[in-house]
Structure 1
């Protein structure tokens, strides 16, 4: 079935009340209405709406875009259900781990021809070659990269001051911002009744530890998660921190209590994320800053995870040209600058826009985001095979809740990765 589309009809009617003669006729103008679905909190939605409003200033008399936000939890399941029915949005954000599923399922339109045409606001060569991740298959592009999020740690200055712990910036300036330091200070927070750090499961939560230790999940097409010593060391470290109570596993938190709420209520000292938490924390007047990921290599800074959400057009939309025109504007240099300036929720995916992060920066050390994205690594291997990242997430999570050891988890991770990628 085709997507149900609504059309805004503007009618200029003349009649007795308008003082028109019976010889006057009505005129009618159709404006295309596009539904745009994303996952975001209210602060993030305000950021996205900036580009929607700017697009309306250019094309509002012919195209109107209605933005709707859903919670991140169960977003992909909800989106999938809508796409399979008759209520799918024309334009939708795709979570990185599910992109390959939408490509394989044929629910995302190929974009290459449009991007090479005269109506596109952006060209593929404006983006770094290594940013596309699972949006491309067999040389075809199925989604655009609106921005990117390199992982850093956020630290709550109020909690550090309350417990009497030296700030991460001080440790960093001394050259001592390491895994050992993190273990030491999170032990102090635990003794003071605070959580030290919120740890996620899955590649999303673990890969930054792997990358920051110089490890890899896969090298040259070969699964090495269960053989690379640096990778094994990273998984064992983070699991031990969870088991010892230095970190709290996010999957064990009470319903409705996430990292953002804990951070804003001064229950946790550190959380890891990209820039997307920044608008919310600033609106909440939290006293916080960024710090690079602690390392275990002797280097002051190592690569961390760079994650992106992707922007796709429903293959069943009644208005493919209009939808592609909008997303090309949304991810263009102009669109990114409008969205990401003034403490937006991501880092630009197009070179030359670094100033939107560092102009009047809040928090103070916004440049750490740019340092992180320069050397960061996206997840590609785990997301290229539909379902693999979910299987790996399940293994990590049963490790974190203590049902299997780190050794058992690492063995299962390697076996599952080989099984699913060699089929």
Structure 2
């Protein structure tokens, strides 16, 4: 969730290290020696932590660990977990060998909360000397880290990746699209009609315009960006009866029928959505900033925009992918572990980890420059603006492993069935989400 390629392969830059040192010297990044910091109490003065990571991310995490240890006096040991991260983490926890601090994906948080294996971070966040406050995080990213019944907070978003509308300007121009989505958004005309018109031109040119996939992340945004409501205040799914959500789904099914939109599950074997976009066969893709390192290697002009909206000018709530960092309930020094976690996700910690380019967006306010410092893509500022209004995985999916497993399978089956309508599609999904059989 940070670097890769050239800047990732460098060590701690002098600029970044001096910034870290100055902040640490002021106390904002220093964990108390001997584990007597925010968590309170004594301990070993050591923290072990683990996460998944690509090579660039792992290098940055080690850099952060080394700098943190040097300034705090707390011994930090980092481990990259390769392979099936969730299975290995659960095995470590069962065997008592899990690290003090670790990343948690949205497919494991509920299980770990329910089994009492994580520390509630809410009390530490409320302390006056906490380096980060709950109010600093983008509000839509937090709920999946709470128990289903509410109360407590057992993980903090390390960074995030909102769904944005990437587009290949060269493919659009060849298809006769006179304004890019970014230009239409700026002009206040980036609405459903504008998207439909653009997709028709792309299809006529022989390219694919847009692909919808089966994961919640890949199609929920098409309802909310056009004003639809997914869940009521009690967490019940309602998009089968919400008028705007239904209208958005009817539009989606119309576009699938016309060929303007392609369902990813129907692509020929071996044709990945991202690969189609990279090769110039797909004009747009609705992914996060995680594809930026690959985009910088490509020889075509690209940019981003928000997903279109009813008004043509608004940024609407759309899905945001995120992971959390948590503290092991059996951490040997809970005080030191809490200090490490809170500073890891603080403004200073995220600034250190995400600066210099990368493939993620900060999950807190005040770091807008992180995504614009490299100037790529041109409208990179939109990453943060979209993330700030977005939402993470819904509780109905995050807290029910059965639903999480069945959801994409049900979407896939229905989208491959020509008899499926927007109404039957949404009703079947709502029944699954609400546990109606």
TM interval, shorter chain, is 0.7 to 0.9
- Which residue number corresponds to residue 392 of structure 1? 407
- Which residue number corresponds to residue 341 of structure 1? 355
Superposed CA offset, 1:211-270 (max 9, x none):
111111212224312111111122232244334433333334466653333322222211
- Alpha-carbon shift at residue 133 of structure 1 (Å): 1.1
Checking the alignment, whether the CA contact within 8 Å between 1:79 and 1:88 is kept in structure 2 is yes
TM-score using structure 1 length: 0.78
Superposed CA offset, 1:66-90 (max 9, x none):
33455xxx65456445544566454
Q: Distance in 1 between matches of 2:433 and 2:288?
A: 26
Q: How many residues align?
A: 388
Does 1:64 find its partner at 2:77?
yes
Given candidates 410, 413, 417, the residue that maps to 2:426 is 410
Checking the alignment, whether the CA contact within 8 Å between 2:100 and 2:328 is kept in structure 1 is yes
Q: Residue 145 of structure 1 aligns to a residue in which SS? A: strand
- Which residue number corresponds to residue 133 of structure 1? 143
Alignment map for 1:160-199 (pairs within 5 Å):
160-166=172-178, 167-199=180-212
- Alpha-carbon shift at residue 97 of structure 1 (Å): 4.9
Does 1:303 find its partner at 2:313?
no
Q: Residue 146 of structure 1 aligns to a residue in which SS? A: strand
Q: Distance in 2 between matches of 1:242 and 1:86?
A: 50
- Which residue number corresponds to residue 276 of structure 2? 262
Q: Distance in 2 between matches of 1:229 and 1:245?
A: 24
Checking the alignment, whether the CA contact within 8 Å between 1:218 and 1:224 is kept in structure 2 is yes
Check 1:310–1:156 CA distance in 2 against 1; reply closer, same or farther (3 A cut).
Answer: same
Checking the alignment, whether the CA contact within 8 Å between 1:50 and 1:338 is kept in structure 2 is no
Superposed CA offset, 1:157-207 (max 9, x none):
343345443322333344332223323333333344432223221321122
Q: Residue 308 of structure 1 aligns to a residue in which SS? A: strand
Given candidates 79, 103, 109, the residue that maps to 1:99 is 109
Q: Distance in 2 between matches of 1:418 and 1:248?
A: 28
- Alpha-carbon shift at residue 153 of structure 1 (Å): 0.8
- RMSD, aligned α-carbons: 3.4
Unaligned runs of 5+ in 1: 1-29
Given candidates 249, 252, 262, the residue that maps to 1:235 is 249
Q: Distance in 2 between matches of 1:347 and 1:393?
A: 26
Checking the alignment, whether the CA contact within 8 Å between 1:98 and 1:383 is kept in structure 2 is no
- Which residue number corresponds to residue 279 of structure 1? 293
- Which residue number corresponds to residue 367 of structure 2? 353
Does 1:371 find its partner at 2:389?
no
Superposed CA offset, 1:15-71 (max 9, x none):
xxxxxxxxxxxxxxx995724122x5455555655534543443577222133455x
Instruction: Decide which moves more: 198-207 or 235-244.
Output: 235-244
Checking the alignment, whether the CA contact within 8 Å between 1:119 and 1:325 is kept in structure 2 is no
Q: Distance in 2 between matches of 1:234 and 1:197?
A: 15
- Which residue number corresponds to residue 10 of structure 1? none
Check 1:197–1:346 CA distance in 2 against 1; reply closer, same or farther (3 A cut).
Answer: same
Does 1:217 find its partner at 2:230?
yes
Alignment map for 1:45-84 (pairs within 5 Å):
45=58, 48=61, 51-59=64-72, 62-68=75-81, 76=86, 79-80=89-90, 83-84=93-94
Q: Residue 139 of structure 1 aligns to a residue in which SS? A: coil
The structure whose Rg is larger is 1
Greater share of strand: 1
Checking the alignment, whether the CA contact within 8 Å between 2:160 and 2:323 is kept in structure 1 is yes
Q: Distance in 2 between matches of 1:358 and 1:278?
A: 12
Q: Residue 156 of structure 2 aligns to a residue in which SS? A: coil
- Which residue number corresponds to residue 18 of structure 1? none
TM-score using structure 2 length: 0.76
Instruction: Decide which moves more: 255-264 or 362-371.
Output: 255-264
Check 1:304–1:128 CA distance in 2 against 1; reply closer, same or farther (3 A cut).
Answer: closer
Q: Distance in 1 between matches of 2:358 and 2:256?
A: 32
Superposed CA offset, 1:130-169 (max 9, x none):
5421212342221112223332111123433454433223
